[in-house]
Structure 1
Amino acid sequence: MLFSELKCKQVINLKDCKCLGRVIDLEFEECSGQICKIIVSNNNRLCSWFNNEPEFIICFKDIKKIGPDIIIVDIGH
């Protein structure tokens, strides 16, 4: 899967079925090349320009399923 395909997917939290936003970036381990975390921003881009709060940072172990349209995660937010 290409990053361009991954960043088009919405991220849904399994705990409360809320949409957290879309993938905007990845963090990976330099030596192994494995993805460690995904960084998700909410859908409201205008607010993100003025908002200094960080995006959701989700550990790769918390990703439960990557489907054709969405990514399901299990986080306690």
Structure 2
Amino acid sequence: MYKTSELRDKEVINIDTGEKLGNMIDIEVNFEEGCIEGFVLPGERNAFRLFSKNTELYIPWSAVKKIGSDVILIEIKERTIKV
């Protein structure tokens, strides 16, 4: 069992592409069913961030393949962006 603070400290890596996606900034919990639905990562950084909307990357919990001591390995084919 993990605390949310422990999960937030782990780097998230997509095993499909090998890309480092960052660290969690939020976790989506379904309290009615008592499970984690997914989590949110910061979106891509933009040089013109002052002029663009903040975007976030949503990762469904079903994409999590392994939680290690330092990283969370996920497998996603397409990114789901939240604005």
Q: Report the TM-score range of the alignment, normalised by the length of the smaller protein.
A: 0.7 to 0.9
> Which TM-score applies when normalising by structure 2?
0.77
Question: CA shift at 1:8, angstroms?
Answer: 0.4
The answer on whether the counterparts of 2:64 and 2:74 sit within 8 Å (CA) in structure 1 is yes
Identity %: 31
Question: CA shift at 1:32, angstroms?
Answer: 1.7
Structure 1 ranges of 4+ moved more than 4 A: none
Unaligned runs of 5+ in 2: 79-83
> Which TM-score applies when normalising by structure 1?
0.83
Aligned Cα RMSD in Å?
A: 2.1
Question: CA shift at 1:43, angstroms?
Answer: 8.5
Matched residues, number: 75
Find the structure with the greater CA-based Rg. Answer: 2
The answer on whether the counterparts of 2:43 and 2:54 sit within 8 Å (CA) in structure 1 is no
Partner of 1:25: 26
CA 1:5–1:59 in 2, change beyond 3 Å: closer, same or farther?
Answer: same
Q: Tell me how far apart the structure 1 counterparts of residues 24 and 55 of structure 2 sit (CA, whole Å).
A: 13
Question: CA shift at 1:54, angstroms?
Answer: 2.2
Unaligned runs of 5+ in 1: none
Question: CA shift at 1:33, angstroms?
Answer: 1.9
Partner of 2:81: none
Question: CA shift at 1:36, angstroms?
Answer: 0.3
2:24 is paired with a residue whose SS is strand
